[in-house]
Each structure stands twice: as structure tokens, then as C-alpha cells.
């Protein structure tokens, strides 16, 4: 298990292709071997923490491999994992890897919910041990370094959503709705769990800050789901009636992030100064989270802008072209704000500027974008 974990970290964070491919393939194969050596729980049976660890880690390895293959292809790697899973003969494509990962994350979430339900009676139990799962046989077998907490359950749902949403760009018209419904169902399970808890219980029984962080993840996952669906429908020649409202929602969320954007060179300065202490670490984490969200909003806005362009091209709608110009300009604005905290110290303010159709003073400037569809 330790070797599998090392391979995963190297492949997902340090290596470049094709070394990253090899490391993640090895990690997934090792985790799958460990899974085969551990007895799976019967339906409704509380799983061991070891089993939960293996399944979750295998899911993360498959998800990371899927993302790698999605971006770079297989390069010169002998592709496809040597083991079938969930009726998939070969895990040889991004969609098959994402699908397997989503299923494994779902299994982990189900197991964690059984642990949490038995341990805390969904937040209604009292006593010092209310937050701990009941021991399963030998204590050393039942517990691992992974904490089963309310936030970790939401984390698995968020990871399942991420893999499910990643399937949408690879889907065809007949399967988009089914994939979307799978994601909506996962969000519904998370909402049901949150509503079942006594107010404050989830945060109090989770590591510091993790409950709120996962609530935020689920909120953004909901937006990502709708954006991915609308964009894919557009790519397949359909029309999503919610496109304009979705653009407004994404821009509104982005404006809130821009208002709290980290200062220029702030992350670079923290790393160079070697600032230590819980306050500095907390601020750095907040800055990094905001940068990640700004990048995500930029990606969403750019994708929505292209969907608006496709709609304009098919319907000869000038208002869609103007809206696309606005949305894509906003994407650039968010990306500049995301990059600013990471600029080299002492570089000075960037001279880049996001232009609008009006500032360019080019009549019908958005029309030039039709070639980008």
C-alpha cells in the first residue's frame, strides 16, 4: 500500500508523461491487487477502514490517470490496465477510467455513510465516543490513517461528482441526460445527509475547516455540472434554454471571487519569505483556494462563451455574439486575477488589459469570433 501511495503521488504531482502514466498505472495495479486480497463487505455491512482506504485510493489513481490520458493521450505507454472492473473489459480510455473511478468513489461514500450512521446515529447520539465508528474486530485492522468523518463523506461525493462530470465531454446525445442524472442523484444524497444532521454537528465532528470546504466543493460541483451539460448539448447541436441564466450565475460567482482576489505576488512572497505559523498557513490556503476557483470560473466562462458563439452562428443572433464577447472577456479578467498572486516577486504590475468591444471601437467586433466556433 505504501508503494502504491508513493507511485500515486509521483505520478499525479511530480512526474511528466510518460513517466506519470507508468507511475499511475503501477499505483492502480497495486491498489487493485490489495483490493482483491481484502474481503469485500456484504451489502449493508459496515466495511473495514482498510477496505475503504484501498477503494478510495484506487479511485483517485484511476481518476488521475483518466485526467492524464484525457490531456496527453497514452503517449508511448502500453495502454489499458490489465484488470477488468465493473463490467468494463478494458480501462483504456478516459471515459472508462472516469466511469470506474466514479463507481469506486460511490462505493467508498456508501461505506463511509454506514460507518457514520452506526457511529453517531446521524448526529443524534451523545457521549464522548459519538463520533467514532464502532470497532470492527481487531482495533489495528479497523482503523487506518484515514479518518471517517462527516466531511470525508462529502469529499467522496464531491470526488464522485468530479469523475461523473468528466464523462460529459466524452458522451453522446443519448447519454448526456443519464450522466447528468447520476450527478444530480449524488448531489441529492449529499443534501439529504447534510439535512439529516443536527446543525453544527458536521463541522464539529470533522477536521478543522474541512466541513465548510466540502460544502463549498459541492456548491461548485453543481455549477460545473450545469456548465458541462450546457456546453456539451451545444457541441452536439442542441440548445440549452438555461444558457443565459447560467452565464449570469457564473459571472456573479466570479465577481464575488474577484472582490476577494489575493494581492499581486502574495503567494510568491509567502513562499520566498518562508513565513511560518498557523495564521500564515491558513491565509496561504485561502489564497490558493481562491486562485483555484478563479481559474475554474475562467474555464467555465470561456466554455460558455464558445457555446454562445455556436448559438449565434446557428441562429444569426447578434445579442449572443455580444454576450459571448462579454463572457469571454470576463474569463480573461478572472485568469489574470488568478495569475497575479503567482507572479515573480518584484516583477511589477502586469500591463495586460482586458478590452471590451466598446473600448476597441471596432464596429461589430464580436463578429470576428465566429471563426473560433
Q: For each of the chain's 373 residues, which pLDDT tens digit applies?
A: 899 999 999 999 999 999 999 999 999 999 999 998 998 899 889 999 999 999 999 999 999 999 999 999 988 777 667 666 666 667 889 999 999 999 999 999 999 999 998 765 544 444 444 333 343 334 334 334 467 999 999 999 999 999 999 999 999 999 999 999 999 999 999 999 999 999 999 999 999 999 999 999 999 999 999 999 999 999 999 877 889 999 999 999 999 999 999 999 888 865 555 555 677 788 888 999 999 999 999 999 999 999 999 999 887 677 889 999 999 999 999 999 999 999 886 665 555 555 444 443 333 444 444 444 4
What pLDDT is stored for residue 118 in this prediction? Answer: 79
Please tell me whether residues 299 and 215 are part of one structural domain.
Answer: no
What pLDDT is stored for residue 367 in this prediction? Answer: 40
Please tell me whether residues 270 and 220 are part of one structural domain.
Answer: no
What pLDDT is stored for residue 273 in this prediction? Answer: 54
Q: What is the pTM of this model?
A: 0.84
Please tell me whether residues 207 and 58 are part of one structural domain.
Answer: yes
Please tell me whether residues 252 and 354 are part of one structural domain.
Answer: yes
Instruction: Name the domain boundary from 238, 270, 300.
Output: 238
Instruction: Name the domain boundary from 212, 238, 264.
Output: 238
Please tell me whether residues 318 and 302 are part of one structural domain.
Answer: yes
Please tell me whether residues 329 and 204 are part of one structural domain.
Answer: no
What pLDDT is stored for residue 347 in this prediction? Answer: 62
Please tell me whether residues 307 and 216 are part of one structural domain.
Answer: no
- Give the range of the structural domain holding residue 289, as residue numbers without chain letter: 243-373
* Domain total of the chain: 2
What pLDDT is stored for residue 285 in this prediction? Answer: 86
CA Rg, the chain, in Å? Answer: 23
What pLDDT is stored for residue 87 in this prediction? Answer: 63
Rounded CA separation 24/15 (Å): 10
Backbone CA torsion sign across 180, 182, 185, 186: negative
What pLDDT is stored for residue 362 in this prediction? Answer: 34
What pLDDT is stored for residue 89 in this prediction? Answer: 64
SS (H, E, C) the chain: CHHHHHHHHHHHHHCCCCHHHHHHHHHHHHHHHHHHHCCCCCCCCCCCHHHHHHHHHHHHHHHHHHHHHHHHCCCCCCCCCCCCECCECCCCCHHHHHHHHHHHHHHHHHHHHHHHHHHHHHHCCCCCCCCCCCCCCCHHHHCCCCCCCHHHHHHHHHHHHHHHHHHHHHCCHHHHHHHHHHHHHHHHHHHHHHHHCCCCHHHHCCCCCHHHHHHHHHHHHHHHHHHHHHHHHHHCCCCCCCHHHHHHHHHHHHHHHHHCCCCCCHHHHHHHHCCCCHHHHHHHHHHHHHHHHHHHHHHHHHHHHHHHHHHHHHHCCHHHHHHHHHHHHHHHHHHHHHHHHHCCCCCCCCCCCCCCHHHHCCCCHHHHHHHHC
Please tell me whether residues 198 and 258 are part of one structural domain.
Answer: no
Please tell me whether residues 46 and 129 are part of one structural domain.
Answer: yes
Please tell me whether residues 200 and 255 are part of one structural domain.
Answer: no
49 contacts 143 by C-beta, under 8 angstroms: yes
Please tell me whether residues 215 and 316 are part of one structural domain.
Answer: no
185 contacts 225 by C-beta, under 8 angstroms: no
Please tell me whether residues 248 and 177 are part of one structural domain.
Answer: no
Cβ neighbours, 10 Å, residue 81: 21
Task: Enumerate the β-bridge partners of residue 85.
Answer: 88
Cα–Cα separations (whole angstroms), residue 315 to 167, 228, 304, 312, 373 = 28, 22, 16, 5, 13
Of 7, 52, 12, 13, residue with least CA distance to 28: 7
Rounded CA separation 300/94 (Å): 21
Instruction: Name the domain boundary from 238, 258, 281.
Output: 238
What pLDDT is stored for residue 124 in this prediction? Answer: 45
Rounded CA separation 52/43 (Å): 14
Rounded CA separation 264/53 (Å): 39
Amino acid at each position: 500500500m505504501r508503494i502504491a501511495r508513493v507511485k500515486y503521488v509521483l505520478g499525479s504531482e511530480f512526474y511528466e508523461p510518460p513517466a506519470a502514466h507508468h507511475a499511475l498505472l503501477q499505483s492502480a495495479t497495486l491498489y487493485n491487487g490489495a483490493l482483491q486480497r481484502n474481503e469485500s463487505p456484504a451489502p449493508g455491512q459496515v466495511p473495514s477502514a482498510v477496505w475503504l482506504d484501498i477503494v478510495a485510493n484506487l479511485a483517485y489513481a484511476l481518476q488521475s490517470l483518466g485526467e492524464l490520458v484525457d490531456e496527453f493521450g497514452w503517449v508511448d505507454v502500453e495502454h489499458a490496465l490489465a484488470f477488468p472492473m465493473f463490467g468494463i473489459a478494458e480501462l483504456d480510455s478516459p471515459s472508462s477510467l472516469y466511469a470506474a473511478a466514479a463507481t469506486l468513489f460511490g462505493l467508498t461514500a456508501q461505506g463511509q455513510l454506514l460507518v457514520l450512521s452506526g457511529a453517531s446515529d446521524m448526529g443524534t447520539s451523545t457521549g464522548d465516543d459519538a463520533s467514532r465508528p464502532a470497532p470492527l474486530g481487531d482495533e489495528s485492522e479497523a482503523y487506518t490513517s484515514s479518518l471517517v468523518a462527516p466531511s470525508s463523506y462529502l469529499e467522496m461525493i464531491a470526488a464522485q461528482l468530479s469523475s461523473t462530470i468528466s464523462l460529459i465531454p466524452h458522451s453522446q446525445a443519448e447519454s448526456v441526460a443519464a450522466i447528468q442524472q447520476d450527478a444530480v442523484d449524488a448531489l441529492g444524497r449529499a443534501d439529504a445527509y447534510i439535512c439529516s444532521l443536527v446543525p453544527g454537528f458536521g463541522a464539529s465532528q470533522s477536521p478543522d475547516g474541512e466541513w465548510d470546504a466540502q460544502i463549498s466543493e459541492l456548491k461548485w460541483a453543481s455549477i460545473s455540472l450545469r456548465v458541462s451539460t450546457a456546453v456539451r448539448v451545444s457541441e452536439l447541436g442542441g440548445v440549452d434554454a438555461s444558457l443565459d441564466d447560467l452565464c449570469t450565475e457564473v459571472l456573479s460567482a466570479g465577481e464575488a471571487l474577484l472582490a476577494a482576489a489575493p494581492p499581486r505576488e502574495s503567494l510568491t512572497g509567502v513562499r520566498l519569505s518562508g513565513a511560518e505559523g498557523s495564521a500564515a498557513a491558513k491565509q496561504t490556503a485561502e489564497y490558493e483556494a481562491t486562485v483555484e476557483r478563479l481559474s475554474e470560473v475562467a474555464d467555465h466562462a470561456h466554455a460558455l462563451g464558445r457555446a454562445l458563439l455556436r448559438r449565434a452562428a446557428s441562429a444569426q443572433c447578434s445579442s449572443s455574439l455580444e454576450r459571448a464577447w462579454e463572457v469571454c472577456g470576463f474569463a480573461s479578467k478572472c485568469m489574470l486575477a488568478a495569475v497575479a498572486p503567482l507572479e515573480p516577486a518584484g516583477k511589477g504590475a502586469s500591463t495586460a488589459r482586458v478590452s471590451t468591444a466598446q473600448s476597441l471601437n471596432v464596429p461589430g467586433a464580436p463578429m470576428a469570433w465566429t471563426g473560433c466556433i
